[in-house]
Amino acid sequence: MSGLDWSLKGLGRHRLRTALSVAGIAISAAMLLDMVMLSGGIEKSFAEMLLAKGYQIRLTPKGTLPFDTEATLAGAGNIVETLRRDPAVESAGAILGTSLYGRRGDSLVTLFGYGIQPEAQALYRLQDGLDLATNDTTGVLLSEPAARLLNAAVGDSVSLVGRLDPQVATAVVSRRLVVRGIVGWVYDYRGQPSVGTVLRVMQSMARPTAEDRASLLMVKVRDDAMAPAVAIRLRSQFPRLEVYSVADLVSFFKRRLVYFRQLSYILGTMSLIVTVLLVTTLLTITINERLGEIATLRAIGVSRTTIVRQVLIEGVALTVIGGGLGTLLGLGTARYLDGILTSFPGLPAAFSFFVPRPESLTTAGLVLLVTGFLAGLYPAWLAARAPIAATLRAEAT
């Protein structure tokens, strides 16, 4: 009989207690997997979102994060030209974000407007129709929610209104634009009605003067590995701007969501403690019940090492069975929990908190296996030090 057979037979003797232990381990394993996904998933998901179009660097007004305030930077065109002349830079573009309104019948609906440079855009993916041309001052791109809100499709005309003045109850700017395409804006929250025009058009709708202002600049460096070094160089080149690499932004984001990371560590640790307690308790009681059997095995020449190995295998087997079920349970609960957290107001729809990845599964599996092994050490030690003669005598009486 192999060690595994002996272990499984041992576990099968008390089905109810084994089933309960497996259920407990499965729930703990599910929680552990969820927490491993949560601890690493936030930053990975955020980094992936930032790199969705390959732009590794952002420049924003001093003291602000991208789109965190309505602050803008001046002279955007000149900065973009300077950036584009940099041999390390493959592409650079300016973006202006602002609130504006669309006409629907005789009422106005609130929209979010992006001013973009179509030749260097990192904000959207075309879903239907055509992209804007570089100098297309009569075209507009809509998100699906914006298209629904304005009841517009590709080829239709929409009327956008900017700079409402509450004191005179009039709109300063109104433009009629043709819908060129329907796009998915990478950083939009779920259901956000957004529209995009070339930068110049959006600038004219956002501000009274012909200032060349932008909310942020995005830079694509030719070589990914060079991005941090280019960010440092740009920081000294533009001291009045904030220059962020993806790593910088991930670091800021991690600080904002530090609570979830710490919660994941605490709950993950608690899951491991529960697993250790369950496996150790079950095996200790099982070993105490089987001391006679173990003493007999020792008496007929089975080595102490073999006994220890079999007890450890039993612990690991219990953990593997519970862990297998826990993985399925964990993937299900992760989806449910992700559904809750991604309903945060203003969170980009592309963002996930729980990201199932092979490395998350591997990490959780390995941690669980080591835990199962460690949990078996104490009962294994008990089994190994059982006095043969005294145990057999006690069993016989």
Partner 1 sequence: MSIRLRQSWCLAMALSTVGTTAAAQIPDVALERRLAEELGLSVGDTLQLGPAADSVSRPAVVSAIYEPKPDPAEIAKRERHVRLHLPDLAGMLGQPDRIDRFGIGLQPGVSPDTAAAVLDRSAFGYRAYTSRAIASESSQTFLVVSRFHRAIAVITIVASAVFLLCIMLLKVEERRLDAAIMRFVGVRRRTIFGALLLEAAVVAAVGSVVGTGLAYAAGLATNTYYRRFFDTALTFSLITPDIVLFGVVLSLALGLVAGGVAAWRLVRTRPMVLWGRG
The SS3 call for residue 1 is coil
Give the total of residues touching partner 1 (CB under 8 A).
53
Among 8, 52, 109, 164, the residue binding partner 1 under the rule CB under 8 A is 164
205 sits near partner 1 (criterion: CB under 8 A)? no
The reply to whether 69 sits near partner 1 by the rule CB under 8 A is yes
Shortest Cβ distance from residue 274 to partner 1 (Å)?
6
CA angle 210, 79, 212 (to 5 degrees): 10
C-beta closer to partner 1: residue 300 or 396: 396
DSSP for 231-278, written as a single string: HHHHHHH-TTEEEEEHHHHHHHHHHHTHHHHHHHHHHHHHHHHHHHHH
Q: Find the DSSP H helices in the chain.
A: 3-12, 15-50, 76-85, 144-150, 199-206, 227-237, 246-256, 258-289, 291-299, 304-341, 358-375, 377-384, 388-396
Told to check if 23 binds partner 1 by CB under 8 A, we report yes
Footprint of partner 1 on 364-393 (CB under 8 A): none
* Alpha carbons 124 and 48: distance in angstroms, whole number: 14
DSSP 192-205: --EEEEEHHHHHHH
Q: Which of 105, 166, 301, 358 binds partner 1 (CB under 8 A)?
A: 166
3-state secondary structure of 344: coil
**Do 376 and 310 contact (CB within 8 A), yes or no?**
no
Q: What distance lies between CA 139 and its chain's CA centroid?
A: 34
Part in contact with partner 1 (CB under 8 A); list of ranges 49-57, 60-68, 119-127, 381-389: 60-68
Per CB under 8 A, 71 contacts partner 1: yes
Q: Smaller CB distance to partner 1: residue 69 or 151?
A: 69
CB of 48 to partner 1, least distance (A): 22
- Based on the shown chain and the rule CB under 8 A, indicate whether residue 20 belongs to the binding site for partner 1: yes
Q: How far is residue 118 from each of residues 111, 197, 361, measured CA to CA in Å?
A: 20, 9, 40
Q: Can you tell me whether residue 101 is helix, strand or coil? A: strand
Is residue 277 close enough to count as binding partner 1 by CB under 8 A? yes
Q: Write down the least CB distance from residue 180 to partner 1, Å.
A: 26
Secondary structure of residue 42 in the 3-state scheme: helix
**HSE of 11, CA atoms in CB hemisphere, 13 A:** 24
Q: Quote the least distance from Cβ 193 to partner 1, whole Å.
A: 14
Least distance (Å) between residue 306 CB and partner 1: 24
Beta carbon nearer to partner 1, 24 or 365: 24
Structure tokens at 311: 């007890």
Give the amino acid at 67: F
Least gap, CB of 101 to partner 1 (angstroms) = 9
Q: Scanning residues 331 to 360, which ones bind partner 1 (CB under 8 A)? A: 333, 336-337, 340-341, 343-345
Question: Rule CB under 8 A: is residue 210 a binding residue for partner 1?
Answer: no
31 is an interface residue for partner 1 by CB under 8 A? yes
Residue span binding partner 1 (CB under 8 A) among the ranges 22-30, 43-51, 177-185, 225-233: 22-30
Among 74, 133, 229, 366, binds partner 1 (CB under 8 A): 74
Contact 111, 164 (CB under 8 A): no
* Contacts to partner 1 by CB under 8 A: 14, 16-17, 20-21, 23-24, 27-28, 30-31, 61-64, 69-74, 99, 108, 110, 164-167, 169, 240-241, 255-259, 263, 267, 271, 274, 277-278, 281-282, 285, 333, 336-337, 340-341, 343-345
